[in-house]
Amino acid sequence: MSSPLVSLDLIRAAAERLRPVVIRTPLVPVGPPVGANPLFVKCENLQRAGAFKIRGAFNMMTQLPEETRRRGVITYSSGNHGQAVALAASLLKAPAVIVMPTTAPSIKAEGARRLGAEVIFEGTTSTDRRARAEREAAARGLTIVPPFDHQWIIAGQGTIGLEILQDRPDVTTVFVQIGGGGLISGVSAALKQSRADVNVIGVEPSGAAKMKAALDAGQLVTLEKTHSVADGLLPVRAGDLTFAHARAFVDEVWTIDDAQIIKAVRWLFKEAKLVVEPSGAITVAAARRYQTEHPQTRNVVAVLSGGNVAPEAFAEYITRADPRSASGVPTRH
Protein backbone atom coordinates (compact mmCIF):
# COMPACT_ATOMS: atom_id res chain seq x y z
CA MET A 1 0.00 0.00 0.00
CA SER A 2 1.36 3.45 -0.91
CA SER A 3 2.04 5.98 1.84
CA PRO A 4 -0.71 8.52 2.51
CA LEU A 5 1.99 11.14 3.08
CA VAL A 6 2.46 13.71 0.35
CA SER A 7 5.80 13.31 -1.42
CA LEU A 8 8.19 16.05 -2.45
CA ASP A 9 7.48 15.16 -6.09
CA LEU A 10 3.75 15.86 -5.60
CA ILE A 11 4.55 19.23 -4.04
CA ARG A 12 6.94 20.13 -6.87
CA ALA A 13 4.31 19.16 -9.43
CA ALA A 14 1.81 21.39 -7.63
CA ALA A 15 4.28 24.28 -7.79
CA GLU A 16 4.42 23.95 -11.59
CA ARG A 17 0.61 23.96 -11.84
CA LEU A 18 0.35 27.00 -9.61
CA ARG A 19 3.12 29.05 -11.17
CA PRO A 20 0.85 30.99 -13.59
CA VAL A 21 -1.87 31.51 -10.96
CA VAL A 22 -0.53 32.23 -7.47
CA ILE A 23 1.51 35.18 -6.25
CA ARG A 24 5.06 34.33 -5.21
CA THR A 25 4.59 36.03 -1.85
CA PRO A 26 7.59 37.74 -0.23
CA LEU A 27 9.55 36.55 2.78
CA VAL A 28 10.01 39.78 4.70
CA PRO A 29 12.32 40.47 7.67
CA VAL A 30 10.50 42.30 10.46
CA GLY A 31 12.73 44.15 12.90
CA PRO A 32 13.14 43.80 16.49
CA PRO A 33 15.63 46.25 18.06
CA VAL A 34 19.07 46.73 16.52
CA GLY A 35 21.40 43.86 17.32
CA ALA A 36 18.68 41.22 17.56
CA ASN A 37 17.75 38.74 14.86
CA PRO A 38 14.81 39.72 12.67
CA LEU A 39 11.76 37.52 12.29
CA PHE A 40 11.06 36.54 8.70
CA VAL A 41 7.37 36.45 7.76
CA LYS A 42 5.96 34.63 4.73
CA CYS A 43 3.26 37.03 3.54
CA GLU A 44 0.37 34.87 2.35
CA ASN A 45 -1.88 37.71 3.51
CA LEU A 46 -0.81 39.24 0.17
CA GLN A 47 -1.89 36.15 -1.78
CA ARG A 48 -4.82 36.19 -4.23
CA ALA A 49 -8.12 36.19 -2.31
CA GLY A 50 -6.13 37.26 0.75
CA ALA A 51 -4.91 33.87 2.00
CA PHE A 52 -2.79 30.81 1.18
CA LYS A 53 -5.84 28.68 0.36
CA ILE A 54 -5.81 29.29 -3.42
CA ARG A 55 -2.74 27.02 -3.59
CA GLY A 56 -4.56 23.89 -2.46
CA ALA A 57 -7.89 24.74 -4.07
CA PHE A 58 -6.49 25.41 -7.53
CA ASN A 59 -4.08 22.48 -7.37
CA MET A 60 -7.01 20.14 -6.74
CA MET A 61 -9.55 21.69 -9.09
CA THR A 62 -7.19 21.89 -12.05
CA GLN A 63 -6.70 18.10 -11.79
CA LEU A 64 -10.42 17.34 -11.93
CA PRO A 65 -11.78 16.18 -15.32
CA GLU A 66 -13.27 19.05 -17.32
CA GLU A 67 -16.72 17.42 -17.30
CA THR A 68 -16.59 17.22 -13.49
CA ARG A 69 -15.67 20.89 -13.24
CA ARG A 70 -18.52 21.86 -15.58
CA ARG A 71 -21.02 20.22 -13.23
CA GLY A 72 -19.63 22.33 -10.40
CA VAL A 73 -17.80 22.11 -7.08
CA ILE A 74 -18.76 22.61 -3.48
CA THR A 75 -16.82 23.11 -0.28
CA TYR A 76 -17.35 23.73 3.41
CA SER A 77 -15.30 26.53 4.91
CA SER A 78 -15.09 29.12 7.68
CA GLY A 79 -14.15 31.61 4.98
CA ASN A 80 -10.71 31.65 3.37
CA HIS A 81 -10.93 28.24 1.68
CA GLY A 82 -14.39 29.18 0.44
CA GLN A 83 -13.02 32.31 -1.19
CA ALA A 84 -10.16 30.30 -2.69
CA VAL A 85 -12.55 27.74 -4.21
CA ALA A 86 -14.67 30.58 -5.55
CA LEU A 87 -11.58 32.17 -7.14
CA ALA A 88 -10.30 28.88 -8.59
CA ALA A 89 -13.77 28.13 -9.95
CA SER A 90 -13.95 31.53 -11.63
CA LEU A 91 -10.52 30.99 -13.22
CA LEU A 92 -11.55 27.52 -14.43
CA LYS A 93 -15.07 28.62 -15.43
CA ALA A 94 -16.78 26.22 -13.03
CA PRO A 95 -19.85 26.82 -10.84
CA ALA A 96 -19.08 26.89 -7.10
CA VAL A 97 -21.12 26.56 -3.90
CA ILE A 98 -19.62 27.46 -0.52
CA VAL A 99 -21.10 26.26 2.79
CA MET A 100 -20.04 28.63 5.58
CA PRO A 101 -20.81 28.76 9.30
CA THR A 102 -23.48 31.17 10.47
CA THR A 103 -20.70 32.92 12.39
CA ALA A 104 -18.47 33.50 9.34
CA PRO A 105 -17.13 37.07 9.08
CA SER A 106 -19.15 38.98 6.51
CA ILE A 107 -15.97 40.03 4.69
CA LYS A 108 -15.27 36.37 3.85
CA ALA A 109 -18.83 35.56 2.75
CA GLU A 110 -18.98 38.71 0.63
CA GLY A 111 -15.62 37.86 -0.89
CA ALA A 112 -16.88 34.46 -2.05
CA ARG A 113 -20.04 35.98 -3.52
CA ARG A 114 -18.05 38.69 -5.27
CA LEU A 115 -16.08 35.93 -7.01
CA GLY A 116 -19.32 34.42 -8.33
CA ALA A 117 -19.97 31.63 -5.83
CA GLU A 118 -23.27 30.70 -4.20
CA VAL A 119 -22.97 30.91 -0.39
CA ILE A 120 -25.02 28.75 2.00
CA PHE A 121 -24.85 29.19 5.77
CA GLU A 122 -25.08 26.09 7.95
CA GLY A 123 -24.44 25.66 11.69
CA THR A 124 -21.29 26.64 13.54
CA THR A 125 -18.99 23.60 13.29
CA SER A 126 -16.97 22.02 10.51
CA THR A 127 -19.11 18.89 11.06
CA ASP A 128 -22.28 20.89 10.35
CA ARG A 129 -20.79 22.42 7.22
CA ARG A 130 -19.43 19.16 5.90
CA ALA A 131 -22.77 17.35 6.34
CA ARG A 132 -24.62 20.10 4.45
CA ALA A 133 -22.00 20.11 1.68
CA GLU A 134 -22.31 16.34 1.29
CA ARG A 135 -26.11 16.60 1.02
CA GLU A 136 -25.88 19.38 -1.56
CA ALA A 137 -23.21 17.51 -3.53
CA ALA A 138 -25.36 14.38 -3.71
CA ALA A 139 -28.47 16.31 -4.68
CA ARG A 140 -26.81 18.49 -7.34
CA GLY A 141 -24.05 16.27 -8.68
CA LEU A 142 -21.30 18.54 -7.37
CA THR A 143 -17.73 17.53 -6.48
CA ILE A 144 -16.48 18.33 -2.99
CA VAL A 145 -13.21 20.25 -2.69
CA PRO A 146 -12.35 19.62 0.98
CA PRO A 147 -10.66 22.36 3.00
CA PHE A 148 -7.68 20.36 4.23
CA ASP A 149 -7.86 16.56 4.31
CA HIS A 150 -6.85 15.63 0.74
CA GLN A 151 -3.45 14.91 -0.83
CA TRP A 152 -3.94 17.45 -3.63
CA ILE A 153 -4.91 20.16 -1.15
CA ILE A 154 -1.93 19.36 1.08
CA ALA A 155 0.46 19.31 -1.89
CA GLY A 156 -0.73 22.75 -2.99
CA GLN A 157 -0.19 24.23 0.46
CA GLY A 158 3.23 22.60 0.57
CA THR A 159 4.46 24.93 -2.17
CA ILE A 160 4.85 27.55 0.58
CA GLY A 161 7.51 25.34 2.16
CA LEU A 162 9.41 25.12 -1.15
CA GLU A 163 9.35 28.91 -1.48
CA ILE A 164 10.63 29.41 2.06
CA LEU A 165 13.58 27.11 1.34
CA GLN A 166 14.33 28.88 -1.93
CA ASP A 167 14.22 32.35 -0.37
CA ARG A 168 15.92 31.46 2.92
CA PRO A 169 18.02 28.29 2.40
CA ASP A 170 19.50 28.61 5.89
CA VAL A 171 16.11 28.65 7.63
CA THR A 172 16.27 26.99 11.06
CA THR A 173 12.72 27.13 12.46
CA VAL A 174 9.33 27.61 10.82
CA PHE A 175 6.08 28.39 12.65
CA VAL A 176 2.86 27.33 10.91
CA GLN A 177 -0.73 27.75 12.08
CA ILE A 178 -3.07 24.77 12.44
CA GLY A 179 -6.77 24.84 11.65
CA GLY A 180 -7.68 21.52 10.09
CA GLY A 181 -4.01 20.91 9.40
CA GLY A 182 -3.70 21.16 5.61
CA LEU A 183 -1.24 24.05 5.70
CA ILE A 184 1.13 22.58 8.25
CA SER A 185 0.90 19.17 6.58
CA GLY A 186 2.07 20.55 3.25
CA VAL A 187 4.66 22.97 4.61
CA SER A 188 6.17 20.42 6.99
CA ALA A 189 6.24 17.75 4.26
CA ALA A 190 8.11 20.11 1.93
CA LEU A 191 10.55 21.23 4.61
CA LYS A 192 11.32 17.91 6.26
CA GLN A 193 11.71 15.98 3.01
CA SER A 194 14.10 18.66 1.77
CA ARG A 195 16.00 19.37 4.99
CA ALA A 196 15.24 17.12 7.93
CA ASP A 197 17.02 19.48 10.35
CA VAL A 198 14.49 22.31 9.97
CA ASN A 199 12.47 22.70 13.17
CA VAL A 200 8.71 22.82 12.36
CA ILE A 201 6.44 24.15 15.09
CA GLY A 202 2.66 24.16 14.73
CA VAL A 203 0.58 26.84 16.44
CA GLU A 204 -3.03 26.58 17.58
CA PRO A 205 -5.30 28.84 19.64
CA SER A 206 -5.44 27.67 23.25
CA GLY A 207 -9.21 27.45 22.82
CA ALA A 208 -8.96 25.24 19.73
CA ALA A 209 -6.03 22.90 20.30
CA LYS A 210 -7.36 19.86 18.46
CA MET A 211 -4.06 18.77 16.87
CA LYS A 212 -2.10 19.07 20.10
CA ALA A 213 -4.78 17.02 21.86
CA ALA A 214 -4.59 14.37 19.13
CA LEU A 215 -0.79 14.18 19.18
CA ASP A 216 -0.76 13.97 22.98
CA ALA A 217 -3.37 11.18 22.89
CA GLY A 218 -1.77 9.33 19.98
CA GLN A 219 -5.08 9.35 18.10
CA LEU A 220 -7.57 11.80 16.65
CA VAL A 221 -9.59 13.76 19.19
CA THR A 222 -12.84 15.63 18.60
CA LEU A 223 -13.18 18.65 20.85
CA GLU A 224 -16.59 19.43 22.33
CA LYS A 225 -16.22 23.06 21.22
CA THR A 226 -13.59 25.57 20.12
CA HIS A 227 -13.33 29.25 20.93
CA SER A 228 -10.92 31.92 19.70
CA VAL A 229 -10.58 35.26 17.97
CA ALA A 230 -8.71 33.28 15.28
CA ASP A 231 -11.88 32.31 13.38
CA GLY A 232 -10.01 30.41 10.66
CA LEU A 233 -8.50 27.91 13.13
CA LEU A 234 -11.62 26.55 14.79
CA PRO A 235 -12.31 23.03 13.46
CA VAL A 236 -13.15 20.70 16.33
CA ARG A 237 -11.11 17.86 14.81
CA ALA A 238 -8.00 17.51 12.68
CA GLY A 239 -8.14 15.43 9.52
CA ASP A 240 -7.05 11.83 9.17
CA LEU A 241 -4.38 12.74 6.59
CA THR A 242 -3.32 15.91 8.36
CA PHE A 243 -2.89 14.05 11.65
CA ALA A 244 -0.66 11.52 9.87
CA HIS A 245 1.48 14.33 8.44
CA ALA A 246 1.74 16.06 11.81
CA ARG A 247 2.93 12.84 13.44
CA ALA A 248 5.53 12.35 10.72
CA PHE A 249 6.86 15.85 10.17
CA VAL A 250 5.94 18.29 12.97
CA ASP A 251 8.36 18.72 15.89
CA GLU A 252 6.10 20.52 18.37
CA VAL A 253 2.68 22.15 18.65
CA TRP A 254 2.33 25.32 20.72
CA THR A 255 -0.87 26.98 21.92
CA ILE A 256 -1.37 30.75 22.05
CA ASP A 257 -4.13 32.68 23.83
CA ASP A 258 -6.26 35.39 22.27
CA ALA A 259 -4.50 38.25 24.06
CA GLN A 260 -1.17 37.27 22.52
CA ILE A 261 -2.76 36.76 19.09
CA ILE A 262 -4.19 40.29 19.12
CA LYS A 263 -0.87 41.71 20.27
CA ALA A 264 0.73 40.01 17.28
CA VAL A 265 -1.84 41.58 14.92
CA ARG A 266 -0.95 44.96 16.41
CA TRP A 267 2.81 44.32 16.27
CA LEU A 268 2.68 43.36 12.58
CA PHE A 269 0.76 46.52 11.76
CA LYS A 270 3.11 48.78 13.73
CA GLU A 271 6.42 47.15 12.81
CA ALA A 272 5.76 45.97 9.24
CA LYS A 273 2.65 47.92 8.18
CA LEU A 274 0.97 44.59 7.37
CA VAL A 275 -2.76 43.86 7.69
CA VAL A 276 -3.01 40.30 9.03
CA GLU A 277 -6.06 38.52 10.43
CA PRO A 278 -5.77 36.85 13.86
CA SER A 279 -5.50 33.38 12.32
CA GLY A 280 -2.58 34.64 10.26
CA ALA A 281 -0.81 36.43 13.10
CA ILE A 282 -0.89 33.60 15.66
CA THR A 283 2.45 32.27 14.40
CA VAL A 284 4.12 35.61 15.08
CA ALA A 285 3.03 35.47 18.72
CA ALA A 286 4.68 32.06 19.02
CA ALA A 287 7.79 32.99 17.02
CA ARG A 288 8.47 36.13 19.06
CA ARG A 289 8.24 34.08 22.25
CA TYR A 290 10.61 31.54 20.74
CA GLN A 291 13.11 34.26 19.80
CA THR A 292 13.00 35.60 23.35
CA GLU A 293 13.72 32.12 24.73
CA HIS A 294 16.36 31.34 22.05
CA PRO A 295 17.97 34.73 21.30
CA GLN A 296 20.89 33.24 19.34
CA THR A 297 18.66 31.39 16.86
CA ARG A 298 18.73 32.97 13.42
CA ASN A 299 16.51 32.63 10.35
CA VAL A 300 13.22 32.00 12.10
CA VAL A 301 10.17 32.13 9.81
CA ALA A 302 6.49 32.63 10.65
CA VAL A 303 3.84 31.97 8.01
CA LEU A 304 1.21 34.71 7.80
CA SER A 305 -1.65 32.64 6.45
CA GLY A 306 -4.16 35.38 5.62
CA GLY A 307 -5.28 38.98 5.82
CA ASN A 308 -9.07 38.77 5.49
CA VAL A 309 -10.21 40.79 8.46
CA ALA A 310 -13.15 43.19 8.70
CA PRO A 311 -11.96 46.82 8.89
CA GLU A 312 -13.91 47.52 12.08
CA ALA A 313 -12.48 44.44 13.81
CA PHE A 314 -8.95 45.29 12.67
CA ALA A 315 -9.30 48.85 13.95
CA GLU A 316 -10.29 47.46 17.34
CA TYR A 317 -7.36 45.03 17.42
CA ILE A 318 -4.74 47.69 16.70
CA THR A 319 -6.17 50.34 19.04
CA ARG A 320 -7.51 48.30 21.96
CA ALA A 321 -5.72 49.15 25.20
CA ASP A 322 -6.28 45.70 26.70
CA PRO A 323 -6.49 42.87 24.16
CA ARG A 324 -7.54 40.36 26.79
CA SER A 325 -11.21 41.26 26.49
CA ALA A 326 -11.91 40.21 22.89
CA SER A 327 -15.48 40.97 21.83
CA GLY A 328 -17.40 38.91 19.30
CA VAL A 329 -15.09 35.91 19.59
CA PRO A 330 -16.39 33.04 17.44
CA THR A 331 -17.17 29.68 18.99
CA ARG A 332 -17.59 26.30 17.29
CA HIS A 333 -19.49 23.55 19.12
What the chain holds in terms of domains, given with CATH numbers, is 8-51+151-332 (3.40.50.1100), 54-144 (3.40.50.1100)
Q: CB atoms < 10 A from the CB of 105, how many?
A: 22
Q: What is the DSSP letter of 168?
A: -
pTM of the model: 0.93
Helices 240-249 and 210-217, interaxial angle, to 10°?
A: 70
Q: What is the rounded average pLDDT of the residues 302-314? A: 95
C-alpha–C-alpha distance, residues 27 and 49, integer Å: 18
Comparing CA positions, the residue from 141, 145, 106, 113 lying closest to residue 129 is: 145
For the annotated catalytic residues, the residue numbers are: 53, 305
Summarised one tens digit per residue, pLDDT across range 263-275 is 999 999 999 999 9
Report DSSP letters for 171-239, one per residue.
--EEEEE-SSSHHHHHHHHHHHHH-TTSEEEEEEETT--HHHHHHHHTS----S-EE-S-GGG--SS--
Summarised one tens digit per residue, pLDDT across range 69-123 is 999 999 998 788 999 999 999 999 999 999 998 988 888 888 889 999 999 999 9
Label the pairing between strands 173-177 and 226-227: unpaired
